Amino acid sequence: MNASAPHAPNSFRAQPDDRGHFGQFGGRYVAETLMPLILDLEREYRAAKADPAFQAEFDDLLEHYVGRPSPLYHAERLSEALRTGVDAGMGAQVWFKRDELNHTGAHKINNCIGQILLAIRMGKTRIIAETGAGQHGVATAAVCARFGLPCIIYMGAKDVERQQPNVFRMKLLGAEVRPVTSGAKTLSDAMNEGLRDWVANVHDTFYIIGTAAGPHPYPELVRDFQSVIGREARAQMLARTGRLPDMLVAAIGGGSNAIGLFHPFLDDASVAMLGVEAAGHGLEGSEHAASLAGGFPGVLHGNKTYLLQDQDGQIAEGHSISAGLDYPGIGPEHAWLRDIGRVQYDSATDKDALDAFQLLCRTEGIIPALEPAHAIAAVSRHARTMRDDQIILANLCGRGDKDIFTVAAALGVAM
Ligand SMILES: *Cc1c(COP(=O)(O)O)cnc(C)c1O
């Protein structure tokens, strides 16, 4: 890490400031009408954070409804496979945080539990959310059913077509799915529509945002709810091995599973961290979703961060084989962590992810989602350059049931 970064705070975990800034990023760029709501939400979140009863209910639901703690798993056969062709004594030990075993199949539910408890605490009676691939929509629909609250999910019309199984799951769980036909008809447009609904229905509606983005305090509260991943992993690793991992790796869409894993380790100077963006067909063209590698700072969805955009500041549409990674922005805390040098960011192409997906299936008997397959691709590259007594811990943030049709199509297999 870059310890000589200017104005480095004493703790990397002390951000954001009162107005939601992570360095120059974050903030709350919202319409006048939304400001009172955002302030209300922030006040209520501060109170909830300090309330042991709120924390106790959150922990209880994570244990008995979500299935936490998720296991920490030493992937010995994968580690061995990655050692082929490397010098003796090289090739790191790969471990996984098994968040793909959560109820609804990914990490998204951790955040949904936290936000719906906040909604109930605020007396809100109507829940809205945006979704891209449908994973956040399914997790939101599940917690709404669990608490008996009506649920409206905004989803780009193009995604509705591409993600039929998740659309049906949301409907089974009692949610209304509203296709969004503006713009590129994908996630970014669905999020605009969610923010619009919120402004129009401020009195009774709570907006459950699905990643560590949006106006302050969303990036902070989503991070806090997802940090259960890193807190568990840190304690589990110490208990199992007596030491901390040498490197953490996680895939980045908006950045919530990555910040959830990284945040509890940020002040552990010996732990390197790597966020992995989707390089799609390659970073040379425009067919990727790597906001840090291929974007520049701008304002979207209420916060300032790195965004994929054209010369005129028009938001560009991201591409990735993984629908969960094609958000054109990245959470503001990652933008800051990148600029101060505490976290490194890398990318993996569609092809890298497909190869890693198949490798994990065959070596460990685990079918990962295509999102963490990007992280595994980066693990494969980095493990070779590390010693065989070093530890890489990657977040296996979702399971691959939802992706088997996409993978079959990419491999040319008829189904
Ligand atoms: C939604 C999703 C992502 C991307 O979102 P982040 O906020 O970056 O975590 C990654 N993996 C899975 C399995 C997802 O469902």
Say whether pLDDT at 202 is over 90: no
Average pLDDT over residues 110-131: 98
6 CA to centre of ligand 1 in angstroms? 31
- With the most atoms of ligand 1 within 8 angstroms of its CB, the residue from 131, 262, 325 to mutate is 325
Task: Give the model's pLDDT for residue 3.
Answer: 40
In this structure, the residues whose C-beta lies within 6 A of any atom of ligand 1 are: 106, 108, 135, 211, 251-258, 324-325, 369, 371, 397-398
pLDDT per position as a tens digit, 49-87 = 999 999 999 999 999 999 999 999 999 999 999 999 999
- Categorize the per-residue pLDDT at 311 as very low, low, confident or very high, splitting at 50, 70 and 90: confident
**Could you tell me which residue, 207 or 34, shows the higher pLDDT?**
207
Convert the pLDDT of each residue in 336-374 to its tens digit: 999 999 999 999 999 999 999 999 999 999 999 999 999
In this predicted structure, what is the pLDDT of residue 323? 85
The rounded Å distance from CA 33 to ligand 1 centre is 30
pLDDT of residue 1: 36
Residue nearest to atom 3 of ligand 1 (CA): 324
Split at pLDDT 50, 70, 90, the class of 106 is very high
Look at residue 209 in the predicted model and tell me its pLDDT. Answer: 97
pLDDT, tens digit, 9 for 90 and up, residues 16-53: 999 999 999 999 999 998 999 999 999 999 999 999 99
Residue among 159, 191, 211 whose CB has most ligand 1 atoms within 8 A, to mutate: 211
Confidence class of residue 326 from pLDDT cuts 50, 70 and 90? confident
pLDDT at 5 exceeding the cut of 50:
no
Residue that wins the pLDDT comparison between 169 and 4: 169
- Rounded to the nearest angstrom, the distance between the alpha carbon of 329 and the centre of ligand 1 is 13
Q: What is the pLDDT of residue 9?
A: 61
Query: Is the pLDDT higher at 145 or at 317?
Result: 145
So what's the pLDDT on residue 246?
98
- Arithmetic mean of pLDDT over the chain: 95
Q: What is the mean pLDDT of residues 204-229?
A: 98
Could you check whether the bond before residue 217 is cis, i.e. omega within 30 degrees of 0?
yes
Q: What pTM was estimated for this model as a whole?
A: 0.96
Answer yes or no: is pLDDT of 4 > 50.
no
- 248 alpha carbon to ligand 1 midpoint, in Å? 16
> Is residue 7's pLDDT more than 60?
no
The best mutation among 97, 103, 104, 107 to test binding of ligand 1, ranked by most ligand atoms within 8 Å of the C-beta, falls on 107
pLDDT of residue 8 exceeding 80, the answer is no
